[in-house]
Structure 1
């Protein structure tokens, strides 16, 4: 057995004031939340327990990994990637949940300490059948999902396997992430978006800071084993993205086949197969499938200005730019 590599980044607890504020919203967590590495990524205590195990996961040459900051179009991209890699097996894609087809490796590390099961899910759905603990036992080729930043994933990942990363305008992410926190009952229903936005800006939410997360992948976008995509690109030119994914995975399909895939990936088609039957449309897993709608929720001139200032400040020293939706 290969000797484990030491996880190279500092793991420290939030300050008492930060931890108190986070626990005001994240219910049922008793241990202190964490900051990890120089970017200070926010994580639950369970991630600190197991991050070295994740960092030391075996990576296989025929693995396909889909990574992102949460609510950036991950599910959409997962479906596209899996179908391209699996000879457009639509029957299996409909019958077999993504929670079976993809191993969401870090999911158990998000469990609240007072819970005896998985983090709560809307509609009774299970997020994943497998995780980092049993990834080694899965047959190849494996399809793996993670919302961890690249620096927390196995260091040999990009030099070994095919990796996708999808990014989305952080203002749209914030809105979708807000409803996700309610849908999965991380936060109480009464929490307001204005409170959530303050936590988002202070990097007191799972996976934050978002710009560091995206920038890590953006800086590696020219690596031959990494495909960096924008959610907005998929909205603007889904067929073009399908072509790129096919080329990246060395697959060749007819135009008719790719048109059928695009139809399968349409918002209405994806939403119709969603097993979450929540009555509140805002709390459904597939909410609206649109980019650039964040201003509907930043509903005062002050909030709009604050959101724009937040994005402008973080883009100031990078060539990263989020596409507009045509």
Structure 2
């Protein structure tokens, strides 16, 4: 059981954090502005308004949670887990957006309230709820819940009710590149690539620090209600991950269901699935905030590759990431091979 400590907030006033904040377009998702103790997690200032509600959120034993640091394969894992938990009902999956079937618990805490109020008119079409905490509370059991929160900021009942938790991680260089393009779209980030990568390495981005996030969950993998996987494992052996996840969830899939699920979860099908890819809303965002419509990087599901950093990350940043990872894992019992 994790011992809960009081939550405290500290403003991020350093120059790098300020540069990241002023490099984003107003009216979109904000950058980190506070660190939250005891985790040290960087969050937008809006989080402070919802921290207590999230801390006291009622958890059920039959909840199923998918948790990750952002851009580590969360959406892919959500779709897999929901279908395993719903007997591979592909028709139901196509009839309802993933955001409805598998809502993002703390989304309300990382989006400015004026933007949430404006989005309320799109409830039926885009499911960008004015209050995602309320929405999750109203879901029928078993509830499927997405979160990016670190261990210390999860609802306190997690540790007594012990719902199923599937945690997915990824090579941080690939995650950082994907997070950069995510910020270009959802935060309207117009700053430099170099500044963003320094922000990742120096724990200035929302939900950072990366390695502390990963290690806290990795340290719980021997608990019966926690399953750890990775984007790389899913790419290398999707069938194996499906079977392991189904066993973890207490579900039995037929050979035919496994094959159908593998096909459904292929990159091409995920990218072209309107219940997942958010095409309509992304088009609205681009039009409203003067973003290029033909930029292939400004999509919800981008490339889905392992090792894309080899082509997309400059050598000096590769070296920085490797040294950073070595330092972060020093003193632990893990190597990089234990994660991806």
TM-score norm. by structure 2 comes to 0.85
Cα distance change of structure 1 residues 183 and 323 upon mapping to structure 2, 3 Å threshold: farther
1:289 equivalenced with 2:304 (yes/no): yes
Q: 2:238 corresponds to which residue?
A: 238
CA deviations on 1:149-194 (whole Å, 9 max, x unpaired) are 121111231442111110111111100000000111x133x42321
Once residues 318 and 6 of structure 1 are traced to their aligned partners in structure 2, the CA distance between those partners, rounded to angstroms, is 22
Gaps of 5+ in 1: none
Q: 1:307 corresponds to which residue?
A: 321
Q: 1:33 corresponds to which residue?
A: 33
**Aligned with 1:177 (options 160, 176, 179):** 179
Q: CA deviation at 1:316?
A: 2.1
**More deviation in 133-142 or 54-63?**
133-142
CA deviations on 1:275-324 (whole Å, 9 max, x unpaired) are 4265321111111111111122212x322212221222212222334449
Once residues 25 and 240 of structure 2 are traced to their aligned partners in structure 1, the CA distance between those partners, rounded to angstroms, is 42
Once residues 214 and 324 of structure 1 are traced to their aligned partners in structure 2, the CA distance between those partners, rounded to angstroms, is 11
Once residues 128 and 222 of structure 1 are traced to their aligned partners in structure 2, the CA distance between those partners, rounded to angstroms, is 35
Tell me if the contact between 1:111 and 1:117 (Cα under 8 Å) persists in the aligned partners. Answer: no
CA deviations on 1:112-140 (whole Å, 9 max, x unpaired) are 36645359x9xx95555861134322221
Judging by fraction of residues, say which structure has more helix.
2
**Aligned with 1:20 (options 18, 21, 36):** 18
Tell me if the contact between 2:38 and 2:152 (Cα under 8 Å) persists in the aligned partners. Answer: no
Gaps of 5+ in 2: 284-292
Once residues 324 and 179 of structure 1 are traced to their aligned partners in structure 2, the CA distance between those partners, rounded to angstroms, is 27
Matches within 5 A, 1:193-232: 193-232=193-232
Matches within 5 A, 1:268-287: 268-273=268-273, 274-276=277-279, 279-287=294-302
Q: CA deviation at 1:101?
A: 0.2
Cα distance change of structure 1 residues 325 and 108 upon mapping to structure 2, 3 Å threshold: closer
Cα distance change of structure 1 residues 52 and 86 upon mapping to structure 2, 3 Å threshold: same
Q: CA deviation at 1:18?
A: 5.3
Tell me if the contact between 1:183 and 1:284 (Cα under 8 Å) persists in the aligned partners. Answer: yes
CA deviations on 1:189-234 (whole Å, 9 max, x unpaired) are x423212101111111111111111111011111100111111110
Tell me if the contact between 1:43 and 1:206 (Cα under 8 Å) persists in the aligned partners. Answer: yes
SS at match of 2:297: helix
Tell me if the contact between 2:32 and 2:42 (Cα under 8 Å) persists in the aligned partners. Answer: no
CA deviations on 1:237-281 (whole Å, 9 max, x unpaired) are 000000111101111112221011111001011111134265321
SS at match of 2:313: coil
Q: 2:6 corresponds to which residue?
A: 8
Tell me if the contact between 2:182 and 2:300 (Cα under 8 Å) persists in the aligned partners. Answer: yes
| RMSD between superposed Cα atoms in Å | 2.8
1:82 equivalenced with 2:82 (yes/no): yes
